[in-house]
Amino acid sequence: MTFTIQNVLIATNEDYATLDVQVVDGKIAAIASNLDVIGTAVDGSNKLLLPGFINAHTHSSEMWQRGIMSIFPLELWLAELYDFAPLDLEKVYLSALGTAVETLLSGGSSVVDHLVLTPGQELETIATAVRAYREVGIRAFIAPLIQDESLTAGIPSGGLVQNNEPYFRSTAATLEIIESAVKQFHHPEAGISILVAPTGIQLCSDALFTGCIELSDRYDLCRHSHLLETKAQEKLAQEKYGCTAVEHLQRIGYLSDRTSLAHCVWLTDADIKILAQTQSTVVHNPLSNLRLGSGIAPILKYLQSGVNVTFGCDGASSNDSQDLLEAIKIGSILHNTTDSDYQNWITPRKSVEMASLGGAKGLNIADKIGSLTVGKQADLVMYDLTNLSLLPRTDPIGLLVLGRPTNVVHSAWVNGKQIVTKNQINTIDVDNLRQELMNRSQWETKRKSQTVAQIETHYRQVMDL
């Protein structure tokens, strides 16, 4: 946990400098040229050092269904997903390992896992993910995904009478599970944090949201949720509340400087002002928004309004990958099509700041990680600038963000502990993980979801399709 990186390239305000970085007891102790070597010497020649990125929204267990999900919008896609969701704790474990590994090897040192819970084994599901993340050594923010309304409640009624099945678990029982998880697993100093994380306004009652607010305040927890991912959710909010979802969440007190909100595709200008006022964070998930046809979030408007924005991969069956560099690239250049004034576009340096410091702000730990700053914890990623996909030499951050970098993470440290060396994970046997994922799956083609068959006609009707 004590080492000195020598002669590594670091971004300065306008340029780069070749410097040394001392890390002592897991924290950045000094950044300067010609520092004395303390602890292990690490050769940083021809390498770029950046703060670790944060994969600020994903669902690890979705890994088991990547590549096979039908080409559906979210509401139908979810129905199919849950018809075929894995219930096996060993699969929960393996997909959390896989999510951590893919995040680390694409520049991430932290992951926010909006973890789908196995019914009847909720605490065991959380414990299993905790075990996986501890073994790999990534910094993990586990946000158990909770709801208290059944799937069909998430589709607008369109004025028709809807008889939604009651949810199988009460609101009070759900909140008890989250409180138990906090007491058992919330150890931020050890790299594992629990978040309160109602899935979103579409499947959650106000009682669940306010219960989460109370837990968040009592235990000093961050808050997470999906927000207005689809046009259907925008319609549903008007049906449920007679106002926008953002106005309603502000009214009940869910928005704050420790609240991160995934997607935020369908917001009004007034909504954007509310997010800025409450200092809430938007997690941009461009790949799943494209994959599910949800729309393009107005990210440039958010940035111009002073809203903090960061990036997420989203789950690996709505993105079909956990490549954080890919999400950052698409999530940056996509918006060049939404505003003709190129002076508003996201530069590579801005996107790197959004992915690191922006993610840390959303988790209320910008004082601890997110930048190369003396005194912060050493969550660091070092990229190999001799890699073919980062050559020839031009602007290193431009190459990293705008290119198609492959296998470029040379080293990664979390809290000063080296997790990746020469593009290899040190902490677990990745070959064994690959074999387990292979053994527990099979080649599949199209499947038929019974739930989709039941709800598709109504969905098409209310969405005027």
Q: For 58-117, what is each residue's pLDDT tens digit?
A: 999 999 999 999 999 999 999 999 999 877 999 999 999 999 999 999 999 999 999 999
Q: Residue 163's pLDDT is what?
A: 76
Q: Residue 425's pLDDT is what?
A: 98
**pLDDT greater than 80 at residue 198:** yes
Q: Residue 160's pLDDT is what?
A: 74
Q: Residue 375's pLDDT is what?
A: 98
**pLDDT greater than 80 at residue 442:** yes
**pLDDT greater than 90 at residue 246:** yes
Q: What is the mean pLDDT of the chain?
A: 96
**pLDDT greater than 90 at residue 162:** no
Q: Which residues pair with 145 in a beta bridge?
A: 116
Q: How far is the C-alpha of 377 from the C-alpha of 134, rounded, in Å?
A: 17
Q: Residue 350's pLDDT is what?
A: 98
Q: How far is CA 336 from CA 296, 309, 346, 431, in A?
A: 11, 16, 8, 40
Compute the average pLDDT of residues 266-277.
98
**pLDDT greater than 80 at residue 262:** yes
pLDDT grade for 445, boundaries at 50, 70 and 90: confident
Calculate the dihedral angle through the C-alpha atoms of 104, 283, 112, 399, rounding to the nearest 10 degrees.
0
Q: Is the pTM of this model over 0.95?
A: yes
Compute the average pLDDT of residues 154-164.
81
Compute the average pLDDT of residues 386-406.
97
pLDDT grade for 371, boundaries at 50, 70 and 90: very high
Instruction: Say how far residue 375 (Cα) sits from the centre of its chain.
Output: 25
List the structure tokens of 145.
């995904």
Compute the average pLDDT of residues 308-325.
97
Q: Residue 271's pLDDT is what?
A: 98
Q: Residue 282's pLDDT is what?
A: 98
Q: How far is the C-alpha of 24 from the C-alpha of 1, rounded, in Å?
A: 6
Question: Higher model confidence: residue 444 or residue 304?
Answer: 304
- What's the number of CA atoms in the CB half-sphere (13 Å) around residue 177? 26
Q: How far is the C-alpha of 85 from the C-alpha of 435, rounded, in Å?
A: 21
Q: How confident is the model over 202-232, as pLDDT tens digits?
A: 999 999 999 999 999 999 999 999 999 999 9
Calculate the dihedral angle through the C-alpha atoms of 300, 305, 311, 315, rounding to the nearest 10 degrees.
-90
**pLDDT greater than 80 at residue 446:** no
Q: How confident is the model over 29-39, as pLDDT tens digits?
A: 999 999 999 99
